[in-house]
């Protein structure tokens, strides 16, 4: 009996329950969402090509450079350490030859070859005059053909010996110059990194890396790599948004105007051949019309960076459809964006 009365009370409560007229139904909410979504498909969207890379520089002489051994020997003394700032002409490292008498022997050989060259110059000159004289005597019928041939052979032999000693002399002078380059100095102002560990007994050969050198006061550029699918549409002068490691940022690919913490750039160089990683290299420099890039102490050589190269201007709906189907960016859409930038 109690259960029946409880059930009856519940039905009466439901009958007296009313829905607030100001609360929209689920159907209305879904319709609003659909309408907003359809309208958003017509919003303008800037197509971008994404690429990642590092901070580098345009000039080859301003990039990371190895300091190599100039002779076969061992490291005698370091005048710098990792992180040292050096000026042009400062001492970096001193090498010593494994054979301390090698330089003296080379100098003696040079002196000997120089004397031989001077002697052969005189001998060659005399043999040439004798050859001309024998040639004239043979024409006058005053000497034999055999004497003429002997004089010609003597001249050619002296000439060949002279060239041989000259070649040997050049090699010896080059070898002495290398052996004398035992003290390596800085070619310009910059920083020393990754010095080679040495106890003073380690043997090095010509060309072995000893340390790396980074020039100071370089003009930074972003060296990024992009897919070959977008490379035909990337041209010099296009705008780029850059995100540097260590700088908080919020990037909107299609709406760069509302991006926060990004920096402006301009495409400077586009490689015509793919790199070893299968991607194409693009060099981006600072955009003078926008905020300056961070200073060197914050934006260091080799720092990681991400780039968003701005291409064509389309609607959001077209971009969603393109991404779903995996279509490349249309070249027609690329031209209006370039023209608008020029204006």
CATH number, domain of 94, equals 2.40.50.100
Mark the ranges of the chain whose per-residue pLDDT is less than 70.
1-24, 40-45, 47, 99-101, 177-181, 199-201, 248-261, 312, 314-323, 325-343
- 195 and 211 Cβ atoms separated by less than 8 Å: yes
Our count of domains for the chain comes to 2
Residues 67 and 211 in one domain: yes
Give the 3-state secondary structure of residue 274: coil
Structure tokens at 145: 């053909």
Does any domain span residue 35? no
- Looking at the chain, the number of H-run helices and the number of E-run strands are 6, 14
| Boundary residue ending a domain (216, 231, 263) | 216
Structure tokens at 113: 């070859």
Does any domain span residue 265? yes
d(CA 109, CA 165): 11
Give the 3-state secondary structure of residue 87: coil
| Boundary residue ending a domain (216, 242, 265) | 216
Structure tokens at 254: 């299609």
Beta-strand relationship, 220-226 and 44-57: antiparallel
Q: What pLDDT, on a 0 to 100 scale, did the predictor assign at position 316?
A: 67
- 312 and 44 Cβ atoms separated by less than 8 Å: no
Q: Which long-range contacts (CB under 8 A, 24 or more apart) does 172-180 make?
A: 172/106, 172/109, 172/110, 172/113, 173/110, 175/106, 176/103, 176/106, 176/107, 176/110, 178/70, 178/71, 178/206, 179/71, 179/97, 179/102, 179/103, 179/106, 180/103
- 78 and 195 Cβ atoms separated by less than 8 Å: yes
Q: What pLDDT, on a 0 to 100 scale, did the predictor assign at position 221?
A: 92
Residues 259 and 191 in one domain: no
Beta-strand relationship, 73-78 and 91-97: antiparallel
- 121 contact partners, CB below 8 Å, separation of at least 6: 162
Residue whose tokens read 């009370």: 9
Q: What pLDDT, on a 0 to 100 scale, did the predictor assign at position 70?
A: 81
Residues 110 and 51 in one domain: no
Does any domain span residue 3? no
Average pLDDT, the chain: 78
d(CA 239, CA 339): 12
d(CA 237, CA 337): 12
Q: What pLDDT, on a 0 to 100 scale, did the predictor assign at position 150?
A: 85
Q: What pLDDT, on a 0 to 100 scale, did the predictor assign at position 338?
A: 42
**Cα dihedral sign for 206, 209, 210, 212?**
positive
Residues 52 and 188 in one domain: no
Residues 282 and 177 in one domain: no
Residue 334: is it exposed, middle or buried by C-beta count within 10 angstroms (0-12/13-18/19+)?
Answer: buried
Print the domain residue range for 104: 62-216
Q: What pLDDT, on a 0 to 100 scale, did the predictor assign at position 326?
A: 59
Whose CA is closest to 223, among 53, 21, 38?
53
**Cα dihedral sign for 235, 236, 237, 242?**
positive
d(CA 68, CA 228): 36
Residues 257 and 132 in one domain: no
Q: What pLDDT, on a 0 to 100 scale, did the predictor assign at position 85?
A: 93
Q: What pLDDT, on a 0 to 100 scale, did the predictor assign at position 28?
A: 74
Residue 138: is it exposed, middle or buried by C-beta count within 10 angstroms (0-12/13-18/19+)?
Answer: middle
Does any domain span residue 19? no
Does any domain span residue 86? yes
d(CA 186, CA 188): 6
Q: What pLDDT, on a 0 to 100 scale, did the predictor assign at position 264?
A: 85
Q: CA dist 268 to 13, 57, 256, 309, Å?
A: 75, 11, 20, 12
């Amino acid at each position: 009996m109690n259960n029946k009365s409880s059930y009856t009370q519940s039905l009466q409560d439901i009958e007296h329950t009313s829905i607030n007229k100001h609360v929209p139904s689920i159907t209305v909410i879904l319709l609003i969402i659909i309408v907003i979504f359809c309208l958003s498909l017509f919003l303008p969207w800037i197509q971008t090509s994404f690429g990642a890379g590092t901070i580098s520089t345009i000039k080859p002489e301003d990039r990371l450079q190895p300091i190599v051994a100039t002779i076969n020997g061992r490291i005698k003394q370091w005048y710098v350490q990792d992180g040292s700032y050096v000026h042009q002409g400062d001492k970096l490292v001193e090498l010593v030859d494994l054979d301390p008498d090698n330089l003296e022997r080379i100098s003696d050989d040079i002196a000997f070859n120089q004397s031989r060259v001077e002697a052969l110059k005189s001998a060659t000159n005399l043999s040439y005059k004798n050859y001309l004289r024998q040639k004239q005597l043979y024409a006058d019928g005053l000497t034999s053909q055999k004497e003429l041939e002997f004089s010609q052979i003597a001249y050619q032999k002296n000439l060949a010996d002279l060239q041989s000693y000259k070649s040997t002399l050049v090699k010896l002078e080059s070898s002495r110059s290398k052996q004398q380059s035992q003290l390596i100095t800085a070619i310009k102002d910059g920083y020393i990194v990754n010095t080679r560990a040495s106890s003073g007994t380690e043997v090095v050969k010509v060309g072995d890396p000893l340390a790396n050198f980074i020039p100071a006061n370089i003009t930074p550029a972003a060296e990024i790599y992009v897919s070959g699918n977008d490379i035909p549409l990337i041209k010099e002068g296009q705008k780029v948004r850059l995100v540097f490691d260590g700088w908080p940022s919020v990037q909107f690919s299609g709406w760069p105007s509302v991006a926060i913490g990004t920096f402006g750039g301009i495409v400077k160089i586009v490689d015509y051949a793919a790199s070893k990683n299968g991607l194409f290299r693009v060099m981006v420099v600072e955009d003078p019309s926008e905020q300056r890039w961070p200073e060197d102490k914050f934006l260091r050589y080799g720092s990681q960076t991400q780039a968003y190269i701005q291409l064509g201007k389309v609607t959001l709906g077209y971009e969603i459809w393109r991404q779903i189907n995996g279509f490349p960016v249309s070249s027609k859409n690329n031209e209006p964006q370039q023209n608008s930038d020029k204006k």
